[in-house]
Amino acid sequence: MSHPHDHRLRGVLSPVLTPFELDRKPSAEGLVRHCRTLVEQGVGLAVFGTNSEAASMSVAEKRTLLDALLSAGLPPERMMPGTGACAIPDAVELTRHAVQAGCAGVLVLPPFYYKGVSDEGLFRAYANLIEGVGDERLRVYLYHIPPVSGVPITLGLIERLLKAYPKQIAGAKDSSGDWENTAAMVREFAADGFDVFPGSEVFLLPGLRAGAVGCITATANVNAAEIMHLYREWQTPQADAWHERIRKIRGIFQAFPMISAMKEAVAWQSGDDAWRIVRPPLVELSDEQSLELRRQLADADYRLPMADALWYSE
């Protein structure tokens, strides 16, 4: 008998960085290449996340990119695109597109413009989305990232949503950085088939030990091999040492404007300087920051992680 969740997303996923051309238009070709490298290493594709600069792209741009990934043969069963938006019609449009494309799940921010809104209002927002899409295949992962969105997903809201939509509500990404909250999500809801992904590899090992199913972490863009190694070996005696190792690398990236720092590292790895480009309101690293990042990573014996995977050679 198969495990009831065998078909579900688990393991390490990456909010995939989005490459832009010199005119700041998204580069579908660059995104396909980067996604291929991630998938080859075992990393799932949480495209259109916070670290993908998803909020800085229109719905039409995201639809086009998703179509390009699917046309290139990237596996929808390893995809959890971010489809949340302030306007529910936008969220419905992109979510429906993802579901019809066969994506395993969608990661859904709450509407994030208004602050201090009630759980009742957020419940209605997710309910409107689920009923607006109206597709049995929809699997929603709730995206709790209060430091950025300003709008938390409370345990009470999860409970209400799970009761109303037990099949559609599949889990959550917890990017609160608050381990107690992640542990509470697992404790309260994992038994109901609610899959919890901490939002950082810093919580991958404690998460797996507590009953989380993996993690969704930005630094998988630049440190996939080491993070995947911990995921595969988490039950071995070496796990704690790997945990410390990946914490250290993450700490280096996190001390810089993180999206820009990761794009800088991908630019070195790929030899393609356009990878440095970000959309406003983000700003690329200065030359000084870039040198300092490189120095700190070298001191930490950070290897360009994609080299072994024949990065960018096809």
State the binding site for pyruvate. Answer: 216
Query: Residues in contact with a copy of itself, total (CB under 8 A)?
Result: 40
Residue of 83, 154, 164 whose CA lies nearest to 122: 154
Report the site for a copy of itself in 277-306 (rule: CB under 8 A): 279-283
Q: What is the CA radius of gyration of the chain?
A: 18
Surface-to-core class of residue 226, CB atoms within 10 Å of its CB (0-12 exposed, 13-18 middle, 19+ buried): buried
Q: Please give the Cα distance from 203 to 230 (Å, whole number).
A: 11
Alpha-carbon gap, residue 208 to 196, rounded angstroms: 10
Distance in angstroms (rounded) separating the CA atoms of residues 14 and 220: 5
Could you confirm whether 173 is annotated as catalytic? Answer: yes
Question: Shortest approach of a copy of itself to residue 28 CB, angstroms?
Answer: 15
When asked if residue 217 is in the footprint of a copy of itself (CB under 8 A), the reply is no
Q: Which of 111, 171, 207, 305 binds a copy of itself (CB under 8 A)?
A: 111
Among 71, 137, 148, 248, binds a copy of itself (CB under 8 A): 148
Q: Which of 123, 116, 129 is nearest to 82 (CA)?
A: 129
CA 208 to chain centre: 17
90 lies in the binding site for a copy of itself (CB under 8 A): yes
Q: Is 143 part of the annotated catalytic residue set?
A: yes
- Candidates 146-154, 182-190, 234-242, 246-254: pick the segment binding a copy of itself (CB under 8 A): 146-154
Q: Give the strand order in the sheet containing 106-108.
A: 106-108, 140-144, 169-174, 195-198
Specify binding-site residues: 216
Instruction: Decide: is 254 part of the binding site for a copy of itself (CB under 8 A).
Output: no
Interaction between residue 61 and a copy of itself (CB under 8 A): yes
Residue corresponding to tokens 């309260």: 188
Q: Provide CB contacts within 8 A for 259, sequence distance 6+.
A: 17, 51, 53, 218, 278, 282
Question: Taking CB under 8 A as the rule, does residue 115 contact a copy of itself?
Answer: yes
Q: How far is the CB of 21 from a copy of itself (least distance, A)?
A: 14
Which of 24, 137, 167, 248 is the binder for a copy of itself (CB under 8 A)? 24
- The least distance separating a copy of itself from the CB of residue 132, rounded to whole angstroms, comes to 10
What are 97's two structure tokens? Answer: 């597109």
Does residue 110 belong to the site contacting a copy of itself (CB under 8 A)?
yes
Whichever of 18 and 37 has its CB closer to a copy of itself, that residue is: 18
- 114 sits near a copy of itself (criterion: CB under 8 A): yes
Minimum distance of a copy of itself from residue 11's CB (angstroms): 27
- State the minimum distance, in angstroms, from the CB of residue 215 to a copy of itself: 22
Cα-Cα end-to-end distance for the chain: 39
Question: Does residue number 164 form part of the binding site for a copy of itself (CB under 8 A)?
Answer: no
User: What are residue 135's phi and psi, to 5 degrees?
Assistant: -135, 125
Residues interacting with a copy of itself, by CB under 8 A?
24, 50, 55-61, 86-90, 93, 110-115, 117-118, 120-122, 124-125, 127-128, 147-151, 279-283
Residues with catalytic function: 143, 173
